[in-house]
Amino acid sequence: MSGSTLEIKDLHVEIDGKEILKGVNLTIKGGEFHAIMGPNGTGKSTLASAIMGHPKYEVTKGQILMDGEDVLEMEVDERAKAGLFLAMQYPSEISGVTTSDFLRSSINAHREEGDEIPLMKFIKEMDDAMDYLEMDKNMSQRYLNEGFSGGEKKRNEILQLMLLKPAIGILDEIDSGLDIDALKVVSKGINKLRNENFGCLIITHYQRLLNYVKPDYVHVMMQGRVVKSGGPELVERLESEGYEWIKDELGIEDETVGK
Amino acid sequence: MSNDVFTCDYIESYSKQQQEPAWMTDFRLKAFETAETIDMPKPDKTKITRWDFDTFDHVTNNQSAKQIALNDLPEGIKKFIDIEKEQNLLILRDNVREYVHRSEDLAKQGVIVTDLQTAIKEHADLVKQYFMTDAVSVNEHKLTALHGALVNGGAFIYVPKNVIVEEPIQTIFWQDNPAQALFNHVILVAEENSEVTYVENYLASETEAKTVMNVVSEVFAKANAKISYGSVDHFAHGTTSYINRRGLAERDAKIEWALGQMNDGDTISENVTHLLGDQSVCYAKAVSVGRGDQTQNFTANIVNHGKHTDGIILQHGVMKDKATGIFHGIGKIEHGGTKANAEQESRVLMLSKHARGDANPILLIDEDDVTAGHAASVGRVDPVQLYYLMSRGISKREAERLIIHGFLAPVVNEIPIEAVRKQLTDVIEGKVY
Ligand SMILES: Nc1ncnc2c1ncn2[C@@H]1O[C@H](COP(=O)(O)OP(=O)(O)OP(=O)(O)O)[C@@H](O)[C@H]1O
Ligand SMILES: [Mg+2]
């Protein structure tokens, strides 16, 4: 086996004292692409945020392990350096900090002090990745995500993914707000990273993205848990039949959580 | 030297020693008379009764003006200068001129760049016309009166009609002797249709010695003139400062301020611009960092007198340790200022529990047909922004650093001389960490 392994065991998470995740189990290995689907408000973003260490989310029970190391003991930046990356559903806007400066700081954060990426090399890598994602080069001189359109923000997340090359990437609704062409470009960016060392967790509502980025495993979340797992065939059934049959099968009336 | 050392005799002999004309001696004596009867300023929300405005040396350096080689300057001064380029530059060290140069072009076009003492002698009529007449007045309070009586350094910059000054004009006011007080006075006149970019640096070598700075700038933008005015103030911890920068804009004129208010001691700093002429415009942008136990009171004030005038204030401050920073933003539209616009934004970022920050927006409007708006906030570094940056591997410290520099960028990026911009960034870096 190559790459890294992310293990989530019986994860319980609260926000503002309200339990949102109620025992999530999931293992992602290098080379594997997992998709998580599920209706709105069922805990998908909560799972992604808890893995990355968002300050509002409190893990009350369970474990997250990266190659056996306790992720919950790590600061957010340490999680990133351990190989985790989260493309966020709603990336922050940071005024006064250019996208380019931010990208360079991010890359350097993954390198040893004294071994910072040479400026020319950085610019070349950034330009190449921006070309690949068909992004306007001027974006790099704009303030981070400030005034970016929804689609531009998503591309910017994938740009970071491509430059940082994490061991495990979590993509939270990377396809939302993208037009068809942008969806293809973003998918191309994700697929470029596909190899046995890269594991990926894709949170999405639509088959569209998964037609371009083929998952090996598909999971459905409801009520703060993974309630069903299967292969790519699950995507098609969800697309044509919706979620009702799963709810019927499991006797779930309200699939949301935290109400 | 303390305030009671000053007498009419002292002022007369100081004026004589500076070989000043009689009108200047008289001006000083009158101002001194006023100073003895008038009250201290009362900045809103800051009590200054116990601030030490008395302990300072008025004269320490009896040298006469000279012209040193720029390369002989200490590194700490040299780094503020884009040394490879030709400089339009004036340097005063403890109020005495060390260096002055303007390009041949400027000389040919009649642009004046000189120290105030020289200007009083060589351009008496101009100085007389602008020195504490229409902009700042001796009678405002004790500190402006004392300024008039004790002014001991400064610069005079004059741009004639229709002259566009392409390269910036820079001044460096360097306090080398720790007890030296700068009663520094800058006059900047841009005649009709002229344009000029001016950048000043106030630098101090020492930190703890007690002294006082009493700084006044008077800026005149005549019809259709454009002035861009940048500054970096960085006086030491032991220094108590009063800083007053005032602008008058005539018809179609524009004044843009970019002020880096980086003093380490107690400071009152006010920046007032009067938009007198129709269609005149002012952008008053300022950034400040407070640290240690210092208290600072900042006022950014634009008064719209003319029609279709546009006044925009932006102040961003960062407060750490036990520092206090009060930010007043005042937009005033006078009766008759129809279609005027007054906008302001004051934001304070608090880096410690013990720091105190206050953003105090005020709109005073005496006219109906106007637009105005304000935004003010006092807050901490946004934890979600920190999380976003850290999720890319950036350490908490570096993430905070990026956010703070970003917060101050709207003003730092406006500073027109690259070396000064870099120094301001370094000063911020030094103050924040
Ligand atoms: N700060 C908060 N305070 C209270 N409840 C919250 C907070 N943040 C999220 N929740 C709730 O947690 C539940 C799960 O939210 P989450 O964002 O994980 O859903 P999701 O599955 O990602 O939904 P979507 O598909 O709409 O993105 C929702 O009911 C949401 O309202
Ligand atoms: Mg979500």
**pLDDT at B79 (0 to 100):** 92
- ipTM of the modeled complex: 0.97
Biggest CA pair distance of chain A = 59
Query: A42 lies in a domain?
Result: yes
Residues of chain A with C-beta less than 8 angstroms from the C-beta of B398: 105, 109
CA of A47 from ligand 1 middle (Å) equals 10
Chain B interface mutation, best of A54, A92, A101, A162, highest count of B Cβ atoms under 10 Å: A92
The average pLDDT across A108-117 equals 96
Across the A:B interface, residue pairs with CB atoms under 8 Å apart total 84
DSSP strand pairing (A57-66 vs A69-70) = antiparallel
Query: A50 lies in a domain?
Result: yes
Q: Which residue of A has its CA nearest to B387?
A: A54
Query: A9 lies in a domain?
Result: yes
What is the residue type of B182? L
CA of B128 from ligand 1 middle (Å) equals 69
Number of other residues whose CB lies within 10 A of the CB of residue A253: 6
Q: How far apart are CA B71 and CA B33, in angstroms?
A: 44
Query: A211 lies in a domain?
Result: yes
Instruction: Give the helix ranges, DSSP H, for B360-417.
Output: 383-390, 396-412
B256-300 pLDDT per residue, tens: 999 999 999 999 999 999 999 999 999 999 999 999 999 999 999
Task: Show the beta-strand stretches assigned E in B48-159.
Answer: 88-93, 96-101, 112-115, 153-159
> In the predicted model, is pLDDT for residue A46 greater than 60?
yes
CATH code, domain with A135 = 3.40.50.300
* Residue whose C-alpha is closest to residue B347's, from B286, B405, B390, B395: B286
**pLDDT at B60 (0 to 100):** 79
CA of A89 from ligand 2 middle (Å) equals 6
Locus of tokens 């800026």: B219
Q: Do B402 and A102 touch (CB under 8 A)?
A: yes
What kind and span of H or E run contains A151? helix A150-164
Q: 3-state SS of chain A: helix, strand, coil percent to 5? A: 40, 30, 35
Confidence of residue B159 (pLDDT cuts 50, 70, 90): very high
Q: How far apart are CA A166 and CA B317, in angstroms?
A: 37
Cβ within 8 Å of B, A 146-185: 160, 164
A210-229 pLDDT per residue, tens: 999 999 999 999 999 999 99
What is the residue type of A175? D
B205-224 pLDDT per residue, tens: 877 899 999 999 999 999 99
**pLDDT at B3 (0 to 100):** 57
B295-351 pLDDT per residue, tens: 999 999 999 999 999 999 999 999 999 999 999 999 999 999 999 999 999 999 999
Residue B69 contacts A, CB cutoff 8 Å? no
Residues of chain B with C-beta less than 8 angstroms from the C-beta of A146: none
What kind and span of H or E run contains B227? strand B226-234
Average pLDDT taken over every residue of chain B = 95
The counts of H helices and E strands in chain B are 10, 19
The average pLDDT across B33-41 equals 96
Decide if B41 contacts B142 (C-beta within 8 A): yes
What kind and span of H or E run contains A250? helix A244-250
Considering chain B, what percentage of its residues have pLDDT values greater than 90?
91
Q: How many separate domains does chain A show?
A: 1
**Which ligand 1 atom sits closest to the C-alpha of A224?**
14
Q: Tell me how close the Cα of A144 comes to any Cα of chain B, in angstroms.
A: 10
| Across B296-310, B384-398, B414-428, least confident range | B414-428
Domain region containing A41:
5-250
Decide if B424 contacts B261 (C-beta within 8 A): no
The average pLDDT across B61-80 equals 90
Q: Tell me how close the Cα of A81 comes to any Cα of chain B, in angstroms.
A: 6
Please tell me the number of the ligand nearest to residue A55's CA: 1
Query: A257 lies in a domain?
Result: no
Q: Tell me how close the Cα of B404 comes to any Cα of chain A, in angstroms.
A: 9
> In the predicted model, is pLDDT for residue B364 greater than 80?
yes
CA dihedral A171, A175, A181, A182 (to 10 degrees): -60
CA dihedral B298, B304, B305, B308 (to 10 degrees): 160
| pTM of this structure | 0.90
Decide if B221 contacts B193 (C-beta within 8 A): no
Of residues B420 and B90, which shows the higher confidence score?
A: B90
| Across A8-22, A188-202, B72-86, least confident range | B72-86
Considering chain A, what percentage of its residues have pLDDT values greater than 90?
96
Query: A256 lies in a domain?
Result: no
Q: What angle do CA A116, A119, A125 make, to 5 degrees?
A: 95
**pLDDT at B2 (0 to 100):** 46
